[in-house]
Amino acid sequence: MREWDGRYRAGFFAGAIRQLRFVFPHCAPDAMPAGWKMTRFTDREIEEVRSRADVVEVIGAHVRLRRAGRNFVGLCPFHNEKTPSFSVNPERGFFHCFGCGAGGTVFDFMNKIEGLTFPEALQSLAQRYGIRLPERSADNRAGPTIANGDRASMLTANQVAAEFYANVLWNTSDAELARDYLKTRGITSETARAFLLGFAPPRAANVVGILQKRGLLEPALKLGLAKKDESGAAYDMFRARLMFPIRDAQGRVIAFGGRVLDNRLPKYINSAESPLYSKARALYGLAEARSTINKGDRAIVVEGYIDVIALWQAGFKETVATLGTALTIDQLRLLSRYTRNILACFDGDDAGRKASLRALEAFLQAGLLGRGVFIPQGYDPDTLMHERGAGHFDGLLQHSELLIEMFLRQQAQIAPKERAAVDDRARILASIGDKLRLIKDEFQFNLLVRKAVDLVGFTDREEAVLRRAGRRALAIGGARQSAPGRAQEVSSGTRATSSPGALVQAELGLIALALRYPDLRPELKSHLRQHVFPDQETGSVLEDICATSESSVTSEAAISSRLGEQRRGWLSGMMVGSLMDDAAKARSLMGDYLNALSEGQQRCEVAQLRQAALTANGEEAVAAAQAVIVARRRSAHRQDAR
């Protein structure tokens, strides 16, 4: 027992020392996830952000949630699924996916979905909820800092630039031509302001001068907002262009598009790829469309900035646009957080229909059955809206086609069953099989096989061939990793099915009880000295929680930074689930968990004594064997007493 007691005391005093060194209480560097050892904040600052940040609102910006009892549920943004297994508990401030095991606090969600470190997540939420956090220097002293090109500085640089461009558009003579252009396109000032449109003046160093005064030139250079000439002088990237800020789902400016108003080429230039922006993973208009997509359960995808703005102004506020690329898997996965009903607009000519079939593959790989809307030849959504009106466009939406059905009908026309040669039928089977192999969902796969049989007229033997080929490919495809940049897609693998052992469950269960029932903390604290936690950091987290009687949980920061990802996932499952709901049984459950820790401690003690007996000689071996017997009897006596 002395060795156990010594270990516990060593862990306790190590925790006390860590408390003096880190703002996250007892937060040891080697216990923190990679990238989380950054700017430090006080408990009061963390608590203010945590208490003001609505976990449902924050997660709801990325996931379409609906209430289900005490929780909110939706489709998990971290893996493909059709039945919601993702839950958010606003009372306890935790989220958990029962499909892939992802879970944690609001800070963990920001880390997973946006790749933010804890300090970055804290700063992002503070800015969102109007909380002013003091800037800190590298040695953690409060005071102004020099921007160093990190994510927060980049976002600030973009926002400053966007506000400058907007001010030029509405308040200067430089932008008179731009204002006239908007009028000719039928874009009202209210709509233009909603999209934060602006104008970059023709002079070389307008934005550069402003950003330099704010200490933001370095991040501006990294973003491509500014460039340097051969002499090393900085100049504006965008000049004499109508500016279209590109915003993420939270409304933060991540990039820009700029359009000339004369005959210069190129007509459009866009921000370069950056830590904030990837054209293959972003969508123009998402910030403006998100709430409408959520409410109406539908998204419309077009190709151009003006198309989005024209449709939004006409009442189709669920419209977004790609950014100079064909529709990508990542863009579709981003939209699928809010709806699975996605309508993509294409030209009505042959080239447009071929493009729609290429988009079909992206839809299937994203786990979606997209629909195609075909714009009459010679029009784009903007000109169609102005010349034929919103009613005509709405009619096109009503007659949209499932892309997979369109593809199958096309295959049936190529080689009708009655007249097709064997090799033609084989090619049709192979072509359809190429599409089916992209589908990972078993139900969707079976549904589309039957659809193929009905539309193409496959025989029973051909259907069997198609199923075997599709399932064989599906088994291979199911093991594929997600595309680069996707936020931690998890297949139904080990993390979803693994569960904590009895000791880990007891450790995390006590933390969950302490978080859920502050009244139990004094009693639980009195028991802690009598028990040894196999994982000292988990025991230290529990100590910190029990040291406060506040019902609000400042310790979210400690949980996010000190427990590993898997343990955070298991803990979030307890917090979101119903196990902790019965207050009458909470004390009994606490006793069960404490007993489990005691039994684990006793088993470890017996194992250590047994090992000592095996390595000892003579009288020492006899004494060690007797110690094993005594320890076993003591353990049995304690179990009988319980």
H helices present in 318-377, as ranges: 329-335, 350-365
**HSE-CB for 305 with a 13 A CA cutoff:** 23
State whether 321 and 251 are in the same domain.
no
Residue 489 is assigned to a structural domain of this protein: no
State whether 522 and 544 are in the same domain.
yes
State whether 188 and 297 are in the same domain.
no
Give residue 482's pLDDT.
Answer: 36
Residue 333 is assigned to a structural domain of this protein: yes
- Dihedral, 341, 347, 349, 355 alpha carbons, nearest 10: -60
State whether 452 and 501 are in the same domain.
no
Among 446, 477, 508, give the residue marking a domain's end.
477
Q: From CA 276, how far away is CA 252, in angstroms rounded?
A: 10
Helical pair 521-528 and 586-615, crossing angle rounded to 10 deg = 10
Q: Which residues of 255-276 are buried (b: 16+ CB within 10 A; e: fewer)?
A: bbbbbeeeeeeeeebbbeebeb
Q: From CA 253, how far away is CA 165, in angstroms rounded?
A: 13
State whether 295 and 386 are in the same domain.
yes
Residue 146 is assigned to a structural domain of this protein: no
State whether 523 and 633 are in the same domain.
yes
71 in Cβ contact with 483 (< 8 Å): no
Q: From CA 13, how far away is CA 361, in angstroms rounded?
A: 58
Give residue 601's pLDDT.
Answer: 67
Residue 601 is assigned to a structural domain of this protein: yes
Phi, psi of 585, deg, nearest 5:
-100, 0
Report, in this order, helix, strand and coil percent for the chain, each rounded to 5.
Answer: 55, 10, 35
Tell me the CATH number at 363.
3.40.1360.10
Give residue 472's pLDDT.
Answer: 62
Cα 582 to chain centroid distance, Å, stands at 32
Residue 308 is assigned to a structural domain of this protein: yes
Low-confidence stretches of the chain (pLDDT < 50) are: 1-38, 137-149, 473-497, 552-554
Question: Which residues, including other chains, have CB under 8 Å from residue 96's CB and lie 6 or more apart?
Answer: 86, 87, 102, 103, 569, 572, 573, 575, 576, 577
Residue 130 is assigned to a structural domain of this protein: no
| CA separation, residue 407 to residues 170, 342, 378, 417 (Å) | 48, 17, 24, 16
3-state SS assignment for residue 424:
helix
Give residue 483's pLDDT.
Answer: 36
Tell me the CATH number at 251.
3.90.980.10
> In this structure, what token pair is assigned to residue 236?
């504006």
Among 205, 235, 270, give the residue marking a domain's end.
270
Domain carrying residue 558: 497-641
Residue 125 is assigned to a structural domain of this protein: no
State whether 464 and 532 are in the same domain.
no
State whether 517 and 577 are in the same domain.
yes
Q: Is 131 exposed, middle or buried (0-12, 13-18, 19+ CB in 10 A)?
A: middle
Q: What is the pLDDT of residues 287-312, one digit of tens each?
A: 999 889 988 999 999 999 999 999 99
Give residue 493's pLDDT.
Answer: 37
Helical pair 151-171 and 118-128, crossing angle rounded to 10 deg = 30
Sheet of 319-321: strand order equals 319-321, 299-302, 342-347, 371-375, 401-402
State whether 262 and 292 are in the same domain.
no
Among 399, 428, 456, give the residue marking a domain's end.
399
Q: Which of 74, 642, 581 is nearest to 336 (CA)?
A: 74
> In this structure, what token pair is assigned to residue 272?
């370069």
Residue 235 is assigned to a structural domain of this protein: yes
Task: Name the domain count of the chain.
Answer: 4
State whether 525 and 465 are in the same domain.
no
Secondary structure element (H or E) that encloses residue 234, with its range: strand 234-236
Strands annotated E in 427-498: none
Q: Which of 142, 11, 101, 41 is nearest to 558 (CA)?
A: 41
Give residue 128's pLDDT.
Answer: 82
Helical pair 586-615 and 618-641, crossing angle rounded to 10 deg = 170
Q: From CA 228, how far away is CA 231, in angstroms rounded?
A: 8
State whether 301 and 424 are in the same domain.
no
Q: From CA 100, how far away is CA 9, in angstroms rounded?
A: 37
Q: Integer distance in angstroms from the first to the last C-alpha of the chain? A: 21
Give residue 478's pLDDT.
Answer: 44
State whether 337 and 440 are in the same domain.
no
